[in-house]
Amino acid sequence: MSLFGQTKRHGITKSGRRSPLPIFTTDPEKKYGHSLTSPSSTSSSFFSVFYIPMPRLPFLRSSSSEILLNGNGLSSKPYHSNSHRPRRYVRICLPIPPRIISRLSRSNPLRTILILFFCLLFGIFLLGFRKRGHGRNTWSPPFVDPNTSVLSPEEIAMIWEWEVLSGHHPSTQLAPDNIPLVPTIHNPVVPESLLPSLSSPSPLVAYHQRGATNPRTQIIGRGPDRHYIPVQEFINANPGFPSRPTPGTIIDLDLVVEKCDFGTNKYVRDCLEYLRIGAGLDNGRRVRRGNYLGMYKHLYSESPTPSKQFALSPRPPSIHSPRSSREPLSLPPPFPVSPTFSSDDPCDPLHPRIFHMFWAGPFTDKPYMAVMSFLFTQNLGLDRPLSEQSTIIRDTCRPQFWVWINPGPAAAVPNPSARREMLEQLNTNPWSAPFLHDRFRDVVKFKMWNTTEQLDGIPELKNYWRDMPIFNSGGNTYRQPQPQQTPIPQDQPNIREVLEEEAESELESEVSTEAFQPKKKKDIFEKVGSASESDYDRLSVILSDMARFVLTHRFGGIYLDADTIFLRDWEELWNYRGQFAYRWSWHQKYNTAVLKLHKGSALASFLFKTALENGLDFHPMTVSRYLKDAGLERLLFRIPDALFDPAWLNMERYQRDRPPFPYFPEFSFFFSNDKFDTAGPQPLGFDGFFRGAFSYHFHNFWWLPFDPSRNWPDLGPRFSEGENSIREVMGEKVSFEGEEQGGVGGVSKREDMDDEVDLSWSTVLKRTFEGFVRGERPNMYGEWLVW
């Protein structure tokens, strides 16, 4: 409501009631009914409003003239008004309860505000104190990631030189300029032709480096020549199937980054085509024409060279960082650089081909799918009979899949019979029992995880980790009741030997649901596995963040999260001499769901020493800070996520204008059988699923089955016992027609067939892998499983 064209403002009468007449004044005491020295009457119980007078500017205090701006500049003209300019006030709302303000002195409100302001600054200052390892505190600006560096620049330079001389840096990327490296470093795995500007700097670079105390280090290539494989050389030996990569083939990740890096506006769709065509995965189906196929080359082989050995440059004796209370960095001599691949000795003992996977609790369909995809894609010699075992080992370097089982809660203390119980459960669990068959025992190995034994195996941690909480992820620390105390020997006998020596009774053929389904418990230290989205086993996830670095540092190889599915042979990645993880979506961070570290590398030693001083935090975001603060990011190659996680950018709402196929706006779509989105899985099958990527990461969803209508290992009559145990629990009956158990070609016959009309991608992939094991179809390279 307005009165005489003015907004109606109510005043306050002496009796305390608001006047119905408008008040035209700039005095807040009359206008708002309170003084400047007290909080506003309209304040809430948690906030107080103050009105602070603004000082008048000098040129506004004159009542006789007014400063104006005309076309010629500043001028003054007479000011004929009888009134002076009104005083202005600033309205400040502070999170201070009015009852506290009323108790403070009202004589000087500015002094009160200043005191409170400095108290707030002091509180923010206190927030900057952060705990580091062994109970020490350091200060860093609050609300900003603190510097995590604990090694001196000289120690960082020694790590850089050690990794380069050991042949672990097959890239042209340089070390940061602030690292005091020696003037010249020989890179034994990069040819001199790729480093012309480094061995002989340009005149402009030499001019800028003249007079500098630490000029740029010259890295001189001393590696073998690289012969890139043309796309036209891929031979269509088996029409409709691609050929396996030639042993010794290496992927050039520098070229992959140029074509696939999200930071340079490259699309995942184009990256997958680049990988698919360059590796010959579209053999017999290639539709690209023209002479520009050379732009897809990214695989190469090396010229024959012998093994090489280099020594570190001499260093001053005192290079220890004052920020660390531990022992100074001590590194062994650089590893011998492995010779070029030879068919006579395909395996490199210094770099074993081991895939590691960590799993907590009973075995389920999630690790089952990871192992099944491993059997379907990797070069394991399963197309040749067991009688040719020695020939297979001599001709190829077969990778192994080590499944590390943590049978109890993450913080549990294992009892002496824990390993025997674990083996019994694996043998009776329908999801894991097939992999104990003689056909797979040489390539799939189950290991028991023991935190005490594993952490004691890390020299950088064994003397300190017992005094620290080991469950720390991104600054969120969970203090476990007590550490494990019972070490378990590393060398573990075969399951059959254990069962025979202990003369255990025969195991029951019928398995209850508790044998292979995790139990839901309320206490975070008692949870085993994730049965639902609301019952998330956070401690096991945190433990796996640390386990991946422990396993790769102790044994070498590549770690993979259990929610990973293999999509092609990893021969090119195994032969890559460097270490890598992949990019965290659009962030300049690492995701360690895929992690390759060399056994006993200097980079891994750095990570453990740094994590020890930062509370044993191995979250991928924190590890990214470790590497960035120390200037070691280029030693752990950050591969574009299209190679291992091609749906991640779409899920983050990026590149939806040209998404890859299939299009997953959410990770849950992998398990969805919505009739509008699942027309592709059945006709396209495995070949249409992110063709070109090395793996697919479906990001948790442990509680969603891959195949809801057939949620059991459907592997035919040879493994019918496990299938029957689950189906009997589900109230179903099954009988097999065809050959007896142990034969090939048996077909299960259900009395109440009720399959889904539309199948999800997860269902199609599961049934594809199972068809290979049943002997009904070849693998992705046209090879049949021979029993």
| Strand duo 226-228 + 48-53: pairing | unpaired
SS3 of 567-578: CCCCHHHHCCCC
Return the minimum-mean-pLDDT range out of 188-202, 246-260, 548-562: 188-202
Tell me the DSSP string of 420-470.
Answer: HHHHHHHHH-TTTGGGGSTTTTTTEEEEE--HHHHHHT-TTTTTTGGGS-S
Higher local confidence (pLDDT), 766 or 513? 766
Q: How confident is the model at residue 675 (pLDDT cuts 50, 70, 90)?
A: confident
Can you tell me which residue has the tokens 């048996």? 746
| pLDDT at residue 225, as a whole number | 93
Which residues neighbour 15 within 8 Å (Cβ) at sequence distance 6 or greater? Answer: none
Higher local confidence (pLDDT), 137 or 356? 356
Region label for 71, one of left (φ > 0), alpha (ψ between -120 and 50) or beta (otherwise): alpha
Q: How confident is the model at residue 332 (pLDDT cuts 50, 70, 90)?
A: very high
Instruction: Give the torsion sign (CA, 156, 158, 161, 164).
Output: negative
pLDDT digits (tens, 9 = 90+) for 165-203: 999 999 998 888 888 888 888 899 999 888 765 444 445
Distance in angstroms (rounded) separating the CA atoms of residues 644 and 664? 15
Whether 68 contacts 78, CB under 8 Å: no
| pLDDT at residue 378, as a whole number | 97
Average confidence score pLDDT of the chain:
78
Neighbours of 11 (CB within 10 A): 17
Higher local confidence (pLDDT), 100 or 207? 100
Q: How confident is the model at residue 106 (pLDDT cuts 50, 70, 90)?
A: low
| pLDDT at residue 85, as a whole number | 60
Whether 727 contacts 737, CB under 8 Å: no
Distance in angstroms (rounded) separating the CA atoms of residues 278 and 256? 10
| pLDDT at residue 257, as a whole number | 96
* SS3 state at 255: helix
Q: Is the pLDDT of residue 284 over 70?
A: yes
Alpha-carbon Rg for the chain, nearest whole angstrom, is 34
Q: Is the pLDDT of residue 501 over 50?
A: no
Q: Is the pLDDT of residue 86 over 70?
A: no
662 cis-preceded (ω within 30 degrees of 0): yes
Stated length of the chain: 787
pLDDT digits (tens, 9 = 90+) for 10-21: 444 444 455 555
Measure CA 668 to chain center: 19
How far does the chain reach from its first CA to its final CA, in angstroms? 91
Q: Taking CA 435 as the corner, what is the angle to CA 741 and CA 598, rounded to the nearest 5 degrees?
A: 160
pLDDT digits (tens, 9 = 90+) for 432-445: 999 999 999 999 99
Burial class from Cβ neighbours inside 10 Å (0-12, 13-18, 19+) for residue 340 reads middle
Sorted by where each begins, the domain ranges of the chain are 2-104, 670-694+702-774
Whether 650 contacts 663, CB under 8 Å: yes
Q: Is the pLDDT of residue 644 over 50?
A: yes
Q: What is the DSSP letter of 266?
A: -
| pLDDT at residue 320, as a whole number | 54
Whether 527 contacts 444, CB under 8 Å: no
Burial class from Cβ neighbours inside 10 Å (0-12, 13-18, 19+) for residue 780 reads buried
Q: How confident is the model at residue 576 (pLDDT cuts 50, 70, 90)?
A: very high
Q: Is the pLDDT of residue 512 over 50?
A: no
Neighbours of 76 (CB within 10 A): 12
Whether 631 contacts 575, CB under 8 Å: no
| pLDDT at residue 63, as a whole number | 45
Q: Is the pLDDT of residue 517 over 70?
A: no
By percentage, how much of the chain surpasses pLDDT 70? 70
Higher local confidence (pLDDT), 497 or 228? 228
Higher local confidence (pLDDT), 518 or 128? 128
pLDDT digits (tens, 9 = 90+) for 391-420: 777 778 899 999 999 887 766 667 778 888
- pTM for the whole thing? 0.77
pLDDT digits (tens, 9 = 90+) for 707-754: 999 999 999 999 988 788 887 777 665 555 544 444 444 555 554 457
Higher local confidence (pLDDT), 448 or 114? 448
* SS3 state at 619: coil
Distance in angstroms (rounded) separating the CA atoms of residues 764 and 749? 20
